[in-house]
Amino acid sequence: MNEGAGSSLAMTVPTMNGDAPLPKRNGTRGLLPSTWLNRTLRVEYVGADGRGRETSGTLLDAYPAGPVLNMGGAKTPLSWDALVLCELVEDR
């Protein structure tokens, strides 16, 4: 890979049109939209016993390990590996 003089940014491969390469996105990229914070979600996940579960809760935060929801008044983390479905419940 050819690096430009003084360039420390990782670059994407340019197109064949002679366009300049674009810098790659730095930082983490969340799996849930930030506009879903503090809104009610319906989630389906695999419980510790291996059975499917369905519930709803308020999205408090999303970490690399998984989302944290307020379910029944308790802060509950869910693993991304256990999460099957996550959808926004319409505001009323």
Average pLDDT, the chain: 81
For the CA atoms of 34, 38, 44, 49, the dihedral, rounded to the nearest 10 degrees, stands at: 110
- pTM beyond 0.85: the answer is no
Residue 5 has pLDDT above 90, yes or no: no
**What domains are defined for the chain?**
34-88 (2.30.30)
For 46, the 3-state DSSP assignment is strand
Asked whether 53 and 46 are in contact (CB, 8 A), the reply is yes
CA distance 69 to 86: 11
Q: What's the DSSP call for residue 38?
A: T
What's residue 68's pLDDT? Answer: 95
Of 51, 54, 55, 47, the C-alpha closest to 79 is 47
Mean pLDDT, range 64-90, rounded to an integer: 92
